[in-house]
Chain A
Amino acid sequence: MARMKFISDAERCIECNGCVTACKNEHEIPWGVNRRRVVTIDDGIPGERSISVACMHCSDAPCIAVCPVDTIYKTTEGIVLHDKDLCIGCGYCFYACPFGAPQFPQDGAFGLRGKMDKCTFCAGGPEADGSEAEFKKYGRNRISEGKLPACAEMCSTKALLGGDGDVIADIYRNRVVFRGKGSEVWGWGTAYGKPEKQQPQQQPAAQGAKS
């Protein structure tokens, strides 16, 4: 089975924020939550570079390791998903994640956190594929329809690539060979540097009751 990954090509990203908009629109993400963001280094200075960042679906995901209720899990495609029904809103995944992917809508006074929300690689959640409940909680499930993530599909310069790690790595390798330089693949060392720790598992126990 394919191992899904993201690549953001810093040489191509023009900071149009199309991926951010595509994501928000595709999943009808609530106000205040951004599953993807574009960060520009040395903005306005010759040599500036931009990088689009969201959940990288890490091999040894720190969010899975620290979640106190074991609500975050990994699919057979290496996509890191979570069950919002089990989430307690403690914020530990937010502390652990190096990319700042987990987001919390404010739920009440004094910064009380609601259910965690993050990039699903457009793969929905534990509910039945394409169901109303799944869309409401996690957004569209494009993967089940055979489509790739909306952000990468929408990228105007094809800076953002999403899909089978081997395929997108080949595309990136060709670009590097053509450019002659710049082999840095943003975030891959952090996200995929460690061997897969969490065995790909089926959805948590609660899934049985819902589907």
Chain B
Amino acid sequence: MRTSHGSFVWRLFLLLALLAPGLAAAAPQPFVPPSSPESAREQAQRQQAQPYNNAPMWRDVRSEREHQTQVRGIETGVLVQSGGETWRELRNGPVSLIGGLLLVAIAAIILLFHVMHGSIKVTSPPAGKMIQRFNDWERWVHWSVAITFCILAISGLIILFGKNVLLPIIGHTLFSWLAILSKNLHNFVGPLFIFSALVMFVTYVKDNLWKSYDFRWFKNMGGMLGGEHIPSGKFNAGEKVWFWLGLFVLTIIVAVTGLILDFPNFEQGRAIMQQANVVHAIAAILYMALSLGHIYMGTIGVEGAYDSMRTNGQVDEAWAKEHHGYWYEDVKADRTGQKAAAGVAGAGQVPQAGR
């Protein structure tokens, strides 16, 4: 008994002696759960070493990390979000200024071109025979995209530039009414435009595939810069660029960014919305600038072009021969419509009369 008791005391003493340095060192160390971020550990240690020095905490305030709060909502735990300032500088600065100047410049160039050159006339006399260029479905799809595009473009311009352009003229009350209308039209017509553009892509893609002869069109922009007409398929190279750059690339960009902005109920944060808004504005301005060219060429720029999208979608044979030589050949050889696939083979043929 005696020996065992003595050995117990001895062991206890040994244990304490071994633990003592460890306990002494551990005592001032605050408990920080292992899952906490590094900044929390730093802050806890700094409080021990230098009370009232909260440098790690202040750094964390600016970290844009979600902290603890009782208020529910998106990013309510974030104290300072710095991206808004960048977004403001971009939107109110280069996006508005360069974008606005670009649209005005493109419109001015088109006007100048029209005044100097006038519309591109059909040189040969009208044949009197009409051929179907766009059927009912194609025209419906085109105008669905065109009308929704115009609504979006005008309402978007009002939201971006209205404060500087319209507000000083029409005043706060009327402009606010116009802006509320624009915002709601923009939000509701947007998805409709995306759907229409998708259908248009499927409908028009087969005639917009790039052909080797399309490169030649750029030599004199299909006769726009003088010289002879370069024959082309149903769509010339300019129209194909509009199709792929506009309807394909730019639509995808404005659609994706637009949906992010249109549906804020998926708990997306401010950062992604700021980025989406800038990309949306830039892409939309480029889209509008391109559309001015397309609208000009499709209406007063090229005589007879508008007929193809009018009520019956028919064009004069002389027009078809002059502007879309290969397509005219295909129609004459009955290689369009259901037999469209076969029409590709005849594309290499030299048209009978280019001009």
Contact = CB atoms under 8 A, between A and B. Distances in A.
B135 interface: no
Interface in B256-311: 262-266, 270, 273-274, 277
Contact of A47 (B57, B176, B266, B277): B57
B52 interface: yes
A40 B277 contact: no
Interface in B72-101: 73, 75-82, 84-85, 87-88, 91-92
B208 interface: no
B144 interface: no
B144 to A, nearest CB: 22
Contacts of A97: 81, 84
B172 A206 contact: yes
Contacts of A190: 80
Contacts of B80: 98-99, 187, 190
B172 A69 contact: yes
Contact of B61 (A45, A83, A87, A186): A186
Contacts of A44: 33
Interface string B11-22: 000000000000
Nearest to A190: B80
Given A90-B183, A182-B52, A205 B172 contact: yes
Given A86-B176, A98-B80, A187-B80, A34 B73 contact: yes
Contact of A100 (B36, B56, B78): B78
Among A46, A48, A181: residue with most chain B CB under 10 A: A46
A62 B75 contact: no
Contact of B79 (A53, A69, A71, A103): A53
A42 B264 contact: no
A41 B33 contact: no
A49 B58 CA distance: 10
B103 interface: no
B159 A47 contact: no
A81 interface: no
Given A34-B73, A42-B40, A86 B173 contact: yes
A207 to B, nearest CB: 9
Contact of A66 (B46, B53, B88, B262): B88
Interface string A43-68: 11111110101000000001001111
B84 A95 contact: yes
A51 B179 CA distance: 37
B7 interface: no
Contact of A45 (B40, B173, B183): B40
B84 A98 contact: yes
Nearest to B64: A98
B51 interface: yes
Nearest to B191: A110
Contact of A111 (B46, B162, B167, B264): B264
Contacts of A204: 172
Contacts, number: 176
A113 B264 contact: yes
Interface string B35-62: 0100110011011101111101110110
Interface in B113-149: none
A41 B61 contact: yes
A66 B77 contact: no
A46 B69 CA distance: 17
A150 B48 CA distance: 36
A69 B163 contact: yes
Interface of A: 10-11, 17, 20, 34, 37-49, 51, 53, 62, 65-71, 83, 85-91, 94-100, 103, 106, 110-113, 179-182, 184, 186-187, 190, 204-206, 209
Given A10-B57, A96-B87, 9 more contacts: A39-B67, A42-B40, A42-B57, A47-B46, A62-B85, A85-B176, A88-B182, A111-B263, A181-B53
Interface of B: 30-33, 36, 39-40, 43-44, 46-48, 50-54, 56-58, 60-61, 67-71, 73, 75-82, 84-85, 87-88, 91-92, 159-160, 162-163, 167, 171-173, 175-176, 179-180, 182-183, 187, 262-266, 270, 273-274, 277
16 contacts: A37-B76, A39-B77, A40-B67, A41-B61, A41-B67, A43-B68, A45-B33, A46-B32, A46-B44, A51-B79, A87-B176, A98-B80, A98-B82, A99-B81, A186-B61, A204-B172
